[in-house]
């Protein structure tokens, strides 16, 4: 099976990681690294014999052996480069966020759709062994109905000026939420609150609350000002409950056979009298395989192209994350008012 | 110094704890246990030789040797019994919540004020060694300006039907918040979101967000459906940051000499260029004394009466907690709309 | 089924706990509390209506309604009181240690044996839900062959003068070891080392090493001078491995599906070439029931008497613990020389 | 200040790490990588422009610009290569163990001494920020007299056939112990016990007990068969106690202001009556700098050479570790008999 040709556009922060994984994959032939800064591009290409460098996107798009273009440029340019690549008949992988706005993102999705091309968003976290396992558990019904998802991602973090803590960290939590929620369960609205107690000019602490379509609730706490680092998610289900502590390599996932049951037989009676019972069984920490998430991501991209299917984190997924973040920003600007999340398109 | 006379009204769940501590204190002479159920009353009184029982509140109020009345009856009765006691010239201790409504609570506060009587609310948590220490640290300026307070109180808890998780658990967090925030810093509004994914008839998961008057933010997560128990509060300050993990007896409080500083000299320049620096110093886990919170509480009541001063958790404090909870309930009913917290009275 | 009559001899530190559990058990009728200090005895008896007090052991032994005598007096008296009770035809429960010496302990065991009476040693720890579960796992073969048992019991503990840290703490670990090791696996010798760095006059830090009859090894670390409290035991098995952390109520037992396998097919070849493989599967933290260990102990005593069988912690077990401790003391005195543990009797 | 010339002999497992750190240091000019396998040598040298490769030790020793030789070959060759380098007037860094035997190690130490050359052993762990801090605390008297050192280094580890778990893991603990014990405190003897429950042909579990010259005690537990990884050391001192948990990056060192005091005034009386008091103060987790241990090690080597002084982990230190391990092996072979540690030479 011949390797697929890929070109990386953008040799900045993320480019080298993409190059290492495309370069090291049997599925892929890394043909080009494209960047206006040729030195940067060469620095990356050097490690992959046979990879050429160019400052011109046309060189990449004119190369028939290039099946896919991986875009790792600043968000504002995702739309333009992505559309050009699609017009040239290339499959496209885009760094998150999918685009600078929902409107632009929708253009990409429609364009790729018209031409039956794969449009994939690099939500790297979704390809970690832990999140893959969680998706498996939530989608197999192992957890039952999802009651709530509570996600905390806090640290004494790198305060930034051009983006607030919500746009910096919450995309991880939201893309993971989108990835693990079972079919038919989704956030219907979002309320967001932020604070900038240090005068950084952007929110350094933020809370997002997302009512779910099944009556459950999702919540995200992101914080640049925390003395201790936390990366923990709790998922409450009707059959089981799960805790994912990404900072505990020895026990990342703990699945509890715990629950609360309301006696349905007594459902007719007034609630005050309904019987409540608690179930407390064993806890299981499933063994997780060890592999690099980014490697699994490039493999998924190749699979989607070859099998002519949508990837697990396709343009629609990237779009859903964008829609939620835009609604959250509007909510935060509006004092935390609950903003519906448009399901159109 | 003669012991003060006290009567306990209400021999239910909390009464025995009050009796044990009033009975064991040199400051107090437990004269009466008053309950319509005389057996219950006797059960408690028995352990305190010399303590009489009665089903009539008048017996208690007519006893000139009774200086204070401790009310441990259902909330709906706090107002009536409290006012009667105040009219009879007794100091009053009330179980939380102070009253069934803000209006009723305000009546109590005004009545006690008119007669220069001590009105105290039993916010027991505030008298734990850990919270006393935290108050000391926040009020001494040890932490600097308070940037945020994040409180998590979750468990596979006893689902109730007559009260939601917010009224069941958040009073602890809110009374603690009220207790530790330094003079002049207070919640100005509250947004609350809840969910009842199991159909219990009341919210089983709730999130409260409270913008603070100094530009900071406070947040509370209470949850009856969590597989693991958490009782943790993070307080971020400009000089130091603090983590209180009430479930770790070996290290309840961790104070971090950590922070983020923005170069003020560069304040004139555009934010993008402002210099940010991080400070990471030692962490200190202060040794805490060991004593029972309820014992410290009855001592504080005696002190307030003898020194003719407000107690550390006086009627005003109970009122502030009530106001915040009422506003939070209104917010939850209104889809999380930000409700201002009236500062009147 | 009529309740069995029991008398408690010794109203000191442990007596009240025995009284609470015998008094609260339907299996038992607590008839006497016997102590030279009648006030002490009365203090305990008071809580159990119908229980009489006496300073004379004869009153107890002459009472035909007394089926069993529970001895909670100082170790030096266990032998004498125990033999008297056995001569009077009473079943006997003895606080650990069984007796002041192996010789004395053997007398008790022989005497009880001759008269078909139950002689039980109160190894309370063995009746905790955690240790009961561990025994179940080791004896069912769930763990496979036992490779090693490593036990740590350290704390900033109460330094004593009449007994060293080994006799103070290690009896717990040794009685547990004796309780959970499967049939046919036992310590064959012991080497003990101690140190008294603070000049307390007795060892404050001690290490016991015990080669096992199956080629495995057991080890105990007891320490009065540790800044942090640890109560942890690791049991390595050929099929599974187990960690018991008694200080983590949320996850006391963790059973790991982990192991190392040597390729037996290659057994003929030189070891250097033998294939080693590692197995890493799920971890399971079994749910444990909640009950008081001492309550389970008095129930077991009743069961042993009624079913005319040895109790789970019978005189022989108490004797094995004594033999090991005596050998360990001899080893420590001899500079850690490996002392065989006599299997006679 | 001109860079010192260094040659790495041995391009196996550890060679690349040495090359990276010597190559990246301003103190050093990495002139040669010497290995019989020239490809391996070239692979390493490639990353350091100007570094030559050779299969002949003579090329290295004949190069007057080579000030020091870093030996990363198998232990059996350390003696020969080391002596040759010293004869050629080169300073020498040797991977641990210093040599294959104490006798050989002593030859190296004497030879280097005669020629005033630096002989250093690469005890990398001693150059980590945590161990440097611990040495500072033990040597400054911050901890007071050292009462005990308890070290645990266990894991589901790579079982080896040519070396037992003691020689595989304990050199870390012993070199750290040697590094942090204050002047005049040292192990005077060692008792070692091991077990091979899986039939690997070598001990897979081992315990070392080491009485200290000041009446204290040190103990090491190394284990290849543990389900959970532990790297923890407790150091008990008369003024303070310290816990080093190398697996907790957020709190590697915890220093406790805890202790036990015997009333010396009462020293004359019988011990039974001596007063014991407990001190429990704050816990401090000192902030640690972040740097690579191996980088600090090559800097120390340069410093020792330039300042004509012994390095912090000199040949004598390597020799002390060898002596202790040889005595421990003899003890294990002798059933755990206490072996004195020769202080000669």
pLDDT in tens, B1-24: 789 999 999 999 899 999 999 999
pLDDT reading at D243 higher than 90: yes
Complete DSSP assignment for C174-195: HHHHHHHS-TT--B-EEEEEEE
Interface residues on C facing B, Cβ-Cβ cutoff 8 A: 228-229, 250
Q: pLDDT for D60-71, tens place per residue? A: 999 999 999 999
A58/chain C closest Cα distance in angstroms: 50
Return the pLDDT at C47: 79
How big is chain B, counted in residues? 345
Answer left, alpha or beta for residue D335, where phi above 0 means left and psi between -120 and 50 means alpha: left
| Residue D103, Cβ density class (10 Å: 0-12 exposed, 13-18 middle, ≥19 buried) | exposed
Identify the pLDDT of residue A310.
Answer: 96
CB-closest option in C156, C161, C258 to D272? C161
Give the helix/strand (H/E) hosting C170.
Answer: helix C165-180
Q: Measure D97 CA to nearest chain C CA, in Å.
A: 21
- On chain A, the residues whose CB falls within 8 A of the CB of D228 are 250
Whether residues C283 and A285 touch (CB distance < 8 A) is answered with yes
pLDDT band at B159 (very low <50, low <70, confident <90, very high): confident
Candidates C136, C243, C254, C282: best to mutate against A (most CBs of A within 10 A) is C282
Q: Do D260 and C207 touch (CB under 8 A)?
A: no
Chains in touch with C (3+ beta-carbon pairs under 8 Å) read: A, B, D
Numbers of helices and strands, H then E, in chain C: 9, 15
Q: Considering only CA atoms, which of A64, A233, A252 is closest in space to residue A153?
A: A233
pLDDT of D343: 61
Q: Give the distance from residue A60's alpha carbon to the nearest chain C alpha carbon, in angstroms.
A: 45
What is the rounded distance in angstroms from the CA atom of residue A135 to the CA atom of residue D241? 45
- Using a CB-CB cut-off of 8 Å, the residues of chain B touching D256 are none
Q: Please, what is the Cα angle at C294 between C292 and C298, to 5 degrees?
A: 125
**Using beta carbons and an 8 Å cutoff, which residues of A are at the interface with C?**
251, 257, 280-287
Residue C120 has pLDDT above 50, yes or no: yes
CB contact under 8 A, B161 and A274: yes
3-state secondary structure A39-97: HHHHHHHCCCCCCEEECCHHHHHHCCCCCEEEECCCHHHHHHHHHHHHHCCCEEEEECC
- Inter-chain touch C257–A287, beta carbons under 8 Å: yes
Angstrom distance (rounded) from CA A128 to CA A133: 9
- What's the pLDDT band for D80 if we cut at 50, 70, 90? very high
Q: How many A×C Cβ pairs under 8 Å?
A: 26
Query: Is the CATH number of domain C4-123+293-314 1.10.274.100?
Result: no
Global pTM value: 0.94
> Least CA distance to D286: which residue of chain B?
B282
Which residues in chain D touch residue C260, judged by CB atoms under 8 angstroms apart? 156, 159, 198, 224-225
The DSSP bridge pattern shows strands A253-262 and A276-285 to be: antiparallel
ipTM: 0.93
Quick one: average pLDDT of A159-180? 93
Report domain A126-291+324-340's class. alpha beta
**Which of C159, C227, C337 is the best mutation test for D, with the most CBs of D within 10 A?**
C227
Contact D285 B283 (CB under 8 A): yes
What residue in B sits closest to D287 (Cα-Cα)?
B282
Q: Mutate which of D287, D288, D289 to disrupt the B interface (most B C-beta within 10 Å)?
A: D287
Which range among B11-20, B84-93, B184-193, D125-134 shows the weakest confidence by mean pLDDT?
Answer: B11-20
- The average pLDDT across D155-166 equals 88
Q: Do C287 and A251 touch (CB under 8 A)?
A: no
Question: Which residues in chain B are contacts of D280 at CB distance < 8 A?
Answer: 287
Check if the beta carbon of residue A324 is closer than 8 Å to that of residue A340: no
Q: How confident is the model at residue C265 (pLDDT cuts 50, 70, 90)?
A: low
Task: Tell me what pLDDT residue B47 has.
Answer: 79
> Is the distance from CB of A256 to CB of B228 less than 8 angstroms?
yes
User: A311: which 2 tokens?
Assistant: 């990837």
Contact criterion met (CB < 8 Å) for B207 and A207: yes
Alpha helices in chain A (DSSP H): 15-23, 38-45, 57-62, 75-87, 102-114, 129-139, 165-180, 293-306, 315-333
Whether D257 has a pLDDT exceeding 50, the answer reads yes
Residue pLDDT, tens place only, C131-186: 999 999 999 999 999 999 999 999 998 888 789 999 999 999 999 999 999 999 99
Tell me what the pLDDT averaged over chain D comes to: 94
Residue D273 pLDDT > 90, yes or no? no
Contacting residues of B for D281, CB less than 8 Å apart? 287
- Report the pLDDT value the prediction gives residue B158, as an integer from 0 to 100: 81
Nearest CB partner across the interface for D207, out of C209, C214, C278: C209
Pair A253, A130: CB distance under 8 Å? yes
Q: CB neighbours (10 Å) of residue C139?
A: 14
Contact D238, D145 (CB under 8 A): yes
Contacts of B236 in chain A (CB under 8 A): 197, 205, 223, 225-227
CATH 3.30.360.10 spans which residues of chain B?
A: 126-291+324-340
C-beta of residue B87 within 8 angstroms of C-beta of residue B39: no
Please give the helix or strand (H or E) that residue C79 lies within, else none: helix C75-87
CA of A241 vs chain B CAs: smallest distance (Å)? 6
Q: What is the pLDDT of residue C71?
A: 97
In the predicted structure, residue C272 carries a pLDDT above the cut 80: no
For the segment B135-162, the average pLDDT, to the nearest whole number, is 94
Residues of B in contact with A241 (CB under 8 A): 225-227
All chains having 3 or more CB pairs closer than 8 angstroms to chain A? B, C, D
Nearest to C166 by CA among C126, C204, C115: C204
- Interval C206-218: pLDDT, tens: 999 999 999 999 9
Tell me if D335 and C335 make a contact (CB, 8 A cut-off). no
Nearest residue of C to residue B155 by CA position?
Answer: C250
Question: Which ranges of B34-188 does DSSP label H, i.e. alpha helix?
Answer: 38-45, 57-62, 78-87, 102-114, 129-139, 165-180
Q: What is the average pLDDT across D77-92? A: 98
Q: Which chains lie within 8 Å of chain D at 3 or more CB pairs, if any?
A: A, B, C
User: Is pLDDT at A303 greater than 60 in this prediction?
Assistant: yes
Q: Which of chain D's residues have a Cβ under 8 Å away from the Cβ of A229?
A: 250
Q: What is the pLDDT of residue C345?
A: 40
Task: Round to whole Å and give the CA distance between C343 and C337.
Answer: 19
The two beta strands, B4-9 and A339-340, are unpaired
Residue D169's SS3 state is: helix
Question: pLDDT at position C159, please?
Answer: 84
Q: How confident is the model at residue A265 (pLDDT cuts 50, 70, 90)?
A: low
> Would you say residue A295 has pLDDT above 50?
yes
pLDDT(A275) > 80? no
Q: What is the mean pLDDT of chain B?
A: 94
pLDDT range class, residue B274, cuts 50, 70, 90: low
- The answer to whether residue B345 scores a pLDDT higher than 70 is no
d(CA C254, CA D318): 39
**CA–CA dist A210, A187 (Å, integer):** 6
pLDDT tens digit sequence for C31-74: 999 999 999 999 888 878 889 999 999 999 999 999 999 999 99
- Tell me the C-alpha distance between D24 and D20, whole Å: 6
Domain(s) labelled CATH 3.40.50.720 in chain C stretch across 4-123+293-314
Continuous segment of H or E residues that includes residue D60: helix D57-62
- Provide the shortest C-alpha distance from residue A281 to chain C (in Å): 5
3-state secondary structure of C336: coil
Contact B260 A225 (CB under 8 A): yes
Which chains lie within 8 Å of chain B at 3 or more CB pairs, if any? A, C, D
D interface with B, Cβ–Cβ below 8 Å: 251, 257, 280-287
At residue A2, what are phi and psi to the nearest 5 degrees?
-70, 150
Which pLDDT score, from 0 to 100, does residue C271 have? 47
Taking 80 as the threshold, does the pLDDT of residue B273 lie above it? Answer: no
Nearest-by-Cβ selection for A198 from B161, B228, B262: B262
The whole-number pLDDT of residue A159 equals 84
């Amino acid at each position: 099976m011949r390797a697929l040709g890929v070109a990386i556009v953008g040799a900045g922060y993320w480019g080298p990681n993409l190059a290492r994984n495309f370069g090291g994959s049997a599925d892929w032939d890394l043909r080009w690294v494209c960047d206006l800064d040729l030195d940067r591009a060469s620095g990356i290409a050097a490690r992959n014999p046979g990879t050429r460098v160019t400052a011109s996107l046309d060189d990449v798009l004119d190369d028939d052996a290039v099946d896919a273009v991986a875009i790792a440029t600043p968000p504002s340019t995702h739309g333009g480069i992505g559309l050009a690549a699609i017009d040239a008949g290339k499959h496209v992988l885009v760094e998150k966020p999918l685009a600078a706005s929902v409107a632009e993102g929708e253009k990409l999705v429609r364009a790729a759709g018209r031409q039956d091309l794969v449009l994939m968003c690099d939500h790297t976290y979704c390809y970690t062994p832990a999140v893959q396992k969680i998706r498996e558990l939530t989608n197999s019904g192992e957890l039952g109905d999802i009651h709530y998802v509570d996600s905390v991602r806090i640290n004494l973090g790198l305060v930034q000026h051009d983006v607030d803590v919500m746009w910096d960290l919450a995309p991880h939590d939201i893309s993971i939420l989108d990835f693990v929620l079972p079919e038919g369960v989704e956030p219907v609205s979002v309320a967001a609150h932020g604070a900038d107690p240090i005068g950084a000019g952007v929110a350094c602490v933020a809370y997002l609350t997302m009512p779910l379509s099944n009556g459950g609730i999702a919540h995200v706490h992101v914080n640049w000002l925390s003395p201790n680092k936390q990366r923990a998610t709790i998922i409450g289900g009707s059959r089981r409950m799960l805790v994912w502590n990404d900072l505990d390599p020895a026990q990342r996932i703990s699945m509890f056979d715990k629950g609360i049951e309301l006696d349905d037989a007594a459902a007719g009676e007034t609630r005050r009298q309904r019987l409540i019972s608690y179930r407390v069984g064993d806890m299981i920490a499933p063994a997780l395989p060890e592999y690099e998430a980014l490697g699994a991501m490039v493999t998924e991209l190749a699979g989607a192209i070859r099998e002519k299917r949508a990837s697990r984190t396709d343009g629609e997924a990237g779009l859903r994350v964008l829609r939620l973040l835009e609604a959250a920003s509007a909510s935060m600007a509006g004092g935390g008012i609950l903003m519906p999340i448009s399901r159109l398109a």
